[in-house]
Amino acid sequence: MESSNRLLLLTAVCGATLMLSGCASFRWPWHKEKVEEQQTDAEAAEEEAEDQDVTPPRVIEPNVARRKIKTPRIDNENWEMGVGLGFMSIEDFGTSSTYAAQFNYHVTEDFFFRLDAGQSTAGKTSFETLGGNIELLTGDERRFTYYSLSLGYNFLPGEVYLGRNLAMNSGFYLLGGIGSVDFAGDNHLAINLGAGYRVLPTDWLAIHIGVQDRVFDSDLLGEKKVTNNIETLLSATVFF
Amino acid sequence: MEPSITTTRSRRLRRTSLAFAIVFASFLSVTALAKQTEEEKAAKAEAEQEKLLQVFVSEPYLELSTGPGRGYAVFRVVEREKSVDVLFRRTDWFKVRDEQGVEGWARARDMRRTKLADGSPFVFHLGDMAGFTSHDWEIGIGFGDYGGADLIGLYGSRSLTDNMKIDLSVSQFLGNASTGWKAELGLQHVLFPEYRFSPFLTLGTGYVETFPRATIVNALDRQDQTAYVGAGARFYLTRRFFIRADYRWHTIFTSRDDNEELEEWKVLIACFF
């Protein structure tokens, strides 16, 4: 008796569970039909809505003009080019005027490369002056032509003031490099060492005063010796 | 001030036209100068159309110095959200003009932290290791030996890719027996451009002109074509500088029966940009 009661109860519980979980656990054939029926109902409603020309909700366009950024090319002004005039003191041959051209590339705020070239004409040695008609060199051989490749180092940057309203940037620099000197019919390997002072009246114009010693070996007057040829130059350069 | 990405560049224009005027005044006659004035007007109108980049300060402030170097005094600060127009760049400094029209120099490192009008960062090349790996141009100067003669050299190179470059070198040699100059054009293949130290291979052709020293009898000036193969190494120093050591093995196509062979080595200090 007791066992039949228990069986009855168990059947009832199982039945109730099945009924409650219903569609989730079992897919009854009538249930499927019902779902399909609902779907068709929804489609019909949609069609009906379309038929009635119901306008969709308005999309608000933001009133902001979108800007297209086209980055302009930034001008790089690291090159400097210019010409100069000055004096060249050629060892044993006196001091003569010289003219030169220079080309600089500024690599960092501290360092720059320089290519310079110039020409001067040597005067007479004291031996020639005192000795009357003696000529050590011909006209062409007196031409002193040089170029050098140098590395420059900027130091002591500052400003100079002209009057109350004008300030100009300035700075000193050291130079060292190698090059060649064509003098007295021969090419010599030369080492150049120097220093300069630069003032910039504007951002693009620089005025330089520079001194460079061009050192090379010469055996022109008999024995081989080191000659120092000191050049003083005033030059104007333009940045571009 | 309403943010606009551009403003006109009248100051630069005055500068350019002044430079033009000086150059032309010294070389041209009066009539030519009159013609130039018209051209100048056209150039002025064109230049006024030219635009400058405007960037916005996104850090608390941007310092402006009186000159392009760390030694020059800071004389002004531009506040956050304010803008500056970029006039031009010199080494790692930018000449800028603020909204009040005051011009000064801003450090590249600070300019890296500014923003464009659309909020995107202002990006440009800095002279660093990444620039060493990838750049457009190189120039360098150096010293070496060319078949026993002293060699002074200058070179420039243009990058095709990070690995491949076109090299142009011009050098003068000063030996006991002869002097002369040469120019060479070739290809350089950098094996590991992303490393601080990298070997490279070169191959090219050139032209050499030799002048024997006066003491050698019956010697003639010579102009010959050459070809070379070589190898070398590059080492990044700092900022924009690197050292380049170069070995080249030259074949000189002489007018005699035999070709001449010469070895060249040199060390160069170079920079990239």
Specify whether B84 is located in the same domain as B33: no
Domain CATH for B171: 2.40.160.20
Specify whether B63 is located in the same domain as B43: no
Q: Give the dihedral sign, CA B167/B243/A79/A151.
A: negative
Give Cα B97 distance to the centre of its chain.
26
Q: Classify residue B186 as exposed, middle or buried by CB count within 10 Å of its CB (0-12, 13-18, 19+).
A: buried
Query: Do B72 and A169 touch, CB atoms closer than 8 A?
Result: yes
Picking from B153, B158, B248, the residue whose alpha carbon sits closest to that of residue B202 is B248
Q: What is the pLDDT of residues B88-108, one digit of tens each?
A: 999 999 999 999 999 999 999
The residue assigned the tokens 């130079």 is A175
Specify whether B153 is located in the same domain as B264: yes
Picking from A91, A32, A69, the residue whose alpha carbon sits closest to that of residue A226 is A91
Specify whether B259 is located in the same domain as B159: yes
**Mean pLDDT (whole number) for A193-219:** 94
Length of chain A: 240
Q: Give the dihedral sign, CA B198/B199/B201/B205.
A: positive
Query: Do B91 and A80 touch, CB atoms closer than 8 A?
Result: no
Q: Report the amino acid identity of residue B108.
A: A
ipTM of the complex: 0.78
Specify whether B146 is located in the same domain as B237: yes
Specify whether B182 is located in the same domain as B248: yes
- The conformational region for residue A145 under phi > 0 = left, psi -120 to 50 = alpha, else beta, is beta
CA distance B36 to A134: 54
A-chain residues within 8 Å CB-CB of B109?
A: none
Q: Report the amino acid identity of residue B216.
A: I
**B94–chain A Cβ distance below 8 A for any pair:** yes
Q: What is the pLDDT of residues B184-239, one digit of tens each?
A: 999 999 999 999 999 999 999 999 999 887 665 556 778 999 999 999 999 999 88
CA distance B88 to B103: 11
pTM of structure: 0.75
Domains in chain A: ranges and CATH: 2-51 (no CATH), 79-239 (2.40.160.20)
Nearest to B90 among A77, A159, A179 (CB): A77
Which strand (E) or helix (H) includes residue B25?
Answer: helix B10-27
Picking from B234, B228, B170, the residue whose alpha carbon sits closest to that of residue B200 is B234
Q: Which domain holds residue B66?
A: 52-124
- The conformational region for residue B19 under phi > 0 = left, psi -120 to 50 = alpha, else beta, is alpha
Domain CATH for B70: 2.30.30.40
Asked whether the beta carbons of residue B120 and residue A75 sit closer than 8 angstroms, the reply is no
**B119–chain A Cβ distance below 8 A for any pair:** no
Q: Look over chain B and give the mean of its residue pLDDT values, rounded to a whole number.
A: 84
Query: Do B140 and B168 touch, CB atoms closer than 8 A?
Result: no
pLDDT at B4: 47
**B69–chain A Cβ distance below 8 A for any pair:** yes
Specify whether B236 is located in the same domain as B147: yes
- Indicate the residue among B89, B124, B159 that finishes a domain: B124
- Indicate the residue among B124, B140, B163 that finishes a domain: B124
Q: Is the pLDDT at B253 greater than 80, yes or no? A: yes
Q: Is the pLDDT at A37 greater than 90, yes or no? A: no
Specify whether B166 is located in the same domain as B230: yes
A5-14, A24-33, A81-90, A155-164 — which one is most confidently predicted on average?
Answer: A81-90
Q: How many domains does chain B have?
A: 3
DSSP state of A185: T
DSSP code per residue over A189-230? EEEEEEEEEEEESSSSEEEEEEEEEEEEEE-TTSS-EEEEEE
A-chain residues within 8 Å CB-CB of B90?
A: 76-78, 106, 203, 239
For residue A67, the distance in angstroms to the closest alpha carbon of chain B comes to 8
- Indicate the residue among B98, B124, B150 that finishes a domain: B124
Query: Do B106 and B63 touch, CB atoms closer than 8 A?
Result: yes
Cα angle: B19, vertex B21, B25; to 5 degrees: 125
Asked whether the beta carbons of residue A69 and residue B143 sit closer than 8 angstroms, the reply is no
Gap between the terminal Cα atoms of chain B = 35
Specify whether B114 is located in the same domain as B243: no
Q: What is the pLDDT of residues B28-83, one digit of tens each?
A: 444 444 455 566 665 555 555 457 888 999 999 999 999 998 889 999 999 999 99
Specify whether B14 is located in the same domain as B102: no
Q: Is the pLDDT at A38 greater than 70, yes or no? A: no
pLDDT at A43: 63
- For B18, other C-beta atoms within 10 Å of its C-beta total 13
Specify whether B247 is located in the same domain as B232: yes
Specify whether B169 is located in the same domain as B253: yes
For residue B15, the distance in angstroms to the closest alpha carbon of chain A comes to 8
